[in-house]
Structure 1
Amino acid sequence: MSATYDVVLYGATGFTGKLVAQYLATHPQQPKIAFAGRSTSKVQTVIESLTDVSAERVKSIGVLEASANNYSSLQRLAASARVIINTVGPYAHLGGYDVIRAAIEAGIGYVDLTGETGFYGRVAQELHEQAQATKAVIVPSSGFDSLPFDLTTYLAAQEIRNAYPDATVSQAICAYKMKGGISGGTIASAVSMRTDPDQMLVVKPYWFSPVTGSAPNQNSIIKMPQVGKYGISSPFTPHNTRIVYRTWGLLESGDPKRAYGPSFVYNEGLITRSAVGARIMAFIFALVNWLIINVALFGQFLKSATPQGTGPSVEKQINGSVYLRTLAESRNSNVRAIAEFKAKGDPGYLNTSRLIAETALAIAFDKERLSSLAQAGGVLTPSALGGEIVASRLGTYAGITIKSAIVPNNVDLTTPL
């Protein structure tokens, strides 16, 4: 039975869900969409609040009732869709696993924006083979956690592989800076991980990977030659690192033409102004992490200060930005490549809504052009899904500038692409 909708957005009434709803409703490809939630009246209110949308388009948007507490409602949701976007977090506590199970049973696509390592790890370990059995394409962490980091690493590595097919990529370093706010949902997800502190620490880099390498855990402060500055591990680093290594592992075990190489190592750093500034910021991040893990009242304070359903103002979101510059090198640094990612708007909200929507639409509209891994189904990453297709969509529809190129050895690494 063919699906009624290209994309069903589950969680349309939440802070990020509303942004995704607006993006999908105004998308130039005019996908057939439906919004779903526990309360159809609240979902209808979201539809009525859409801006720059014609009356005909508004009328075409479906309204579905679905709840993680009612598995049959999730099955009905999955039966109506080619792809589900799930923005209901924290995923480990609000039924994310069951939404994925319903998508797998229906053999459809699924994307979310989780940064919860324990949740992702469980899904990858328990549901990958089930998804392959039905050819369901499951792509968690398709928002700012962790698409830009994974994608720029992939694109830089592919520049090397395409130019020199016999070369292997020995390392990638992602340097990034960002300007944005934080929502109650993000804080709730972070606090929810305190019961398993390893989720928030730069340990277990291969947690998600189907194969294990020999990369050391990342240093908290690293030198980043592509920007000529120092960078530090941030709260994003543990999850990003595991996503990048899942891409590496999936390619190593299932797509040798795109594989980076068996000795690949990934590092990333939030750009700081100086070595001294790096040490200060590293200490602050470590302290906040320690407080969340060890002081329950601190987490409760953070959640009460920014409740779920709230987030940065529209003005702050518009004034936000994100920039990544990822360097990949072959063994002995004989070949170097850089990938850049630039976007206006808050990275965690405005840009996340674009990232997750375009990943979903890649599954809905470009399925035949996606990777061999995507054709086989499974729990994938945005890059393993088909990094070139995702990057192209982001440039065409989301206004995100993505470039990658080989950098000759006689050219300074800080030179813009």
Structure 2
Amino acid sequence: MSEKLDVIIFGASGFTGKYTVFEAITVLQDYRWGIAGRSQEKLENVLKDMGTKAQKNLMDTPIIIADINNENSLLGMANKCRVLVNCCGPYRFFGEPVVRACLEAGTHHVDVSGEPQYMETIQLKYNKEAIDRKVYIISACGFDSIPAELGIVFIEKNFDGVVNSVESYLQSYTKGEDTGGARIHYGTWESAVYGLAHSNELQEIRSKLYNEKLPKFHPVLKHRPLIFRSEIVNGVCLPFPGSDRSVVMRSQRFLYERDHKRPVQMHAYVTFKSWLSAALVALFAVTFGLLTKFSFGRQLLLKYPKIFSFGFASHEGPSEALMERTHFSFIMRANGWPNSDRLLESTDQYAEPPTKTLTVKVSGSNPGYGATCVALLCTAVTILKQNDKMPGPGGVLPPGAAFAKTSLISELEKYEHGIKFEILANK
């Protein structure tokens, strides 16, 4: 291969990887791209299957053999492209060697990790080197962090004032008759098990990562009750257990420290139709959390995902029919002050409570393996096209910090499995 490829999809024969290959046919149609993994046969099968699905011959797509346990093969792969799209998780176990290879090769890296311990450890260990080598290492580039992060970017672009806080409400539903079946693949389940099991690591990581606490801005966005009915979405809500808030707050800290921008406070919730549904999910979450704290409990969760997830997770993953019928939306309500009340310095405090609100909707379909794959590839394209609009020469960054000044939002809106951003109310 005499010339570098623009993009290589690593882990292309995995569940997320193969659907990323399918979306690449459209998203990367103007770029030179290839796929990578450890099995030539499996990679060829992916090209055959996804080509049949798209009614296109993909068999001329470059194939690179790379194994997570072979550092030389990882470096060889990284040297063959400008941006590496890493679909090989759980990233807690498999992410760091790929990042090191990309740093050595001078290749940008994006992935769909939702694992705060992994993401913040990588930032702690490699941010300076990434800046020195002018390489972007960006995690959380899928569902659900991209809708949350870019939702806040969209809010601030349309707010016409200063945003103090945002509450985010995730809703999902399946069109047509719900015949059951898994919603997520085992890999996502495994990441959740280990992420929650080691959540106590975060305090120590953050104490090393951040020497100073952010100043307290007023009014403070208070947590809602553990279970409550929200007038914003007319549903019963629980705290959202994903990494959205931690990823958003990393971006807000970065923008405060770099640009002296007042940080946006944020809390994330998930919405259910009834009190009973919310109560049952809360009970499941408590049980799941307790089981992850013990070795035996983790073994049970990992050995019997279908049983302990009530069929929500499986090694086979969801069917394509179910994925295509699944839709999501984030309703995001922002509060702040109009431009007429803008303060001179970002560290100044307002004497009056917020008087302005903006409500937006961020929505799409097939969140886990459609919107996620499109978002991941769109971040790679944005790095290729708009490197000059990204902060500094490089670094280990969350997506909100990395892409705030780019046109990623309009890129996401182009595709069938893309993400739509719209204003619902501006008062």
- TM-score, structure 2 length as denominator? 0.82
Correspondent of 2:238 among 232, 240, 244: 232
Larger displacement relative to structure 2 (151-160 or 134-143)? 151-160
Q: Determine the structure 2 residue equivalent to 1:360.
A: 380
Structure 2 residue 179 is the aligned partner of structure 1 residue 174: no
Correspondent of 1:377 among 394, 397, 407: 394
User: CA–CA distance in 2 between the matches of 1:178 and 1:225?
Assistant: 17
* SS at structure 2 position matched to 1:58: coil
Structure 2 residue 249 is the aligned partner of structure 1 residue 249: no
Mapping 1:131-280, distance limit 5 Å: 131-160=130-159, 163-164=160-161, 167=162, 169-179=163-173, 181-198=183-200, 212-213=213-214, 214=216, 218-219=223-224, 220-221=226-227, 224-236=230-242, 239-256=243-260, 259=261, 261-262=262-263, 264-274=264-274, 278-280=278-280
Q: Go from structure 1 to structure 2 and tell me whether the alpha carbon gap of 1:255 and 1:278 turns closer, same or farther (over 3 Å shift).
A: same
**Shift, 1:10, TM fit:** 0.5
User: CA–CA distance in 1 between the matches of 2:357 and 2:222?
Assistant: 23
Post-superposition Cα deviations, 1:141-175, rounded to whole Å, max 9, x if no partner, equal: 11114211122122213322xx23xx3x2211001
* SS at structure 2 position matched to 1:110: strand
Q: Go from structure 1 to structure 2 and tell me whether the alpha carbon gap of 1:89 and 1:173 turns closer, same or farther (over 3 Å shift).
A: same
Post-superposition Cα deviations, 1:42-83, rounded to whole Å, max 9, x if no partner, equal: 21221122232533x531x11101112111111111111111
* SS at structure 2 position matched to 1:348: helix
User: CA–CA distance in 2 between the matches of 1:205 and 1:225?
Assistant: 34
Q: Determine the structure 2 residue equivalent to 1:125.
A: 124
- Kindly provide the amino acid, as one letter, of the partner of residue 172 in structure 1: V
Q: Go from structure 1 to structure 2 and tell me whether the alpha carbon gap of 1:359 and 1:299 turns closer, same or farther (over 3 Å shift).
A: farther
Higher Cα Rg, which structure: 2
Q: Go from structure 1 to structure 2 and tell me whether the alpha carbon gap of 1:311 and 1:99 turns closer, same or farther (over 3 Å shift).
A: same
* SS at structure 1 position matched to 2:200: helix
Q: Go from structure 1 to structure 2 and tell me whether the alpha carbon gap of 1:97 and 1:81 turns closer, same or farther (over 3 Å shift).
A: same
Q: Go from structure 1 to structure 2 and tell me whether the alpha carbon gap of 1:358 and 1:2 turns closer, same or farther (over 3 Å shift).
A: farther
Q: Go from structure 1 to structure 2 and tell me whether the alpha carbon gap of 1:136 and 1:222 turns closer, same or farther (over 3 Å shift).
A: farther
Structure 1 unaligned regions, length at least 5: 410-417
Q: Determine the structure 2 residue equivalent to 1:107.
A: 106
**Shift, 1:245, TM fit:** 0.1
**Shift, 1:179, TM fit:** 3.8
* SS at structure 1 position matched to 2:368: coil
Mapping 1:258-407, distance limit 5 Å: 259=261, 261-262=262-263, 264-274=264-274, 278-294=278-294, 296-297=296-297, 299-305=299-305, 310-330=316-336, 332-345=353-366, 347-368=367-388, 370-371=389-390, 373=391, 375-387=392-404, 388-405=406-423, 407=425
User: CA–CA distance in 2 between the matches of 1:337 and 1:390?
Assistant: 21
* SS at structure 2 position matched to 1:349: helix
**Shift, 1:217, TM fit:** 8.5
* SS at structure 2 position matched to 1:92: helix
Contact between 1:177 and 1:323, CA under 8 Å: does it hold in 2? yes
- Kindly provide the amino acid, as one letter, of the partner of residue 336 in structure 1: T
Identity %: 24
- TM-score, structure 1 length as denominator? 0.84
User: CA–CA distance in 2 between the matches of 1:252 and 1:83?
Assistant: 28
User: Alignment RMSD, CA only?
Assistant: 3.0
Larger displacement relative to structure 2 (223-232 or 9-18)? 223-232
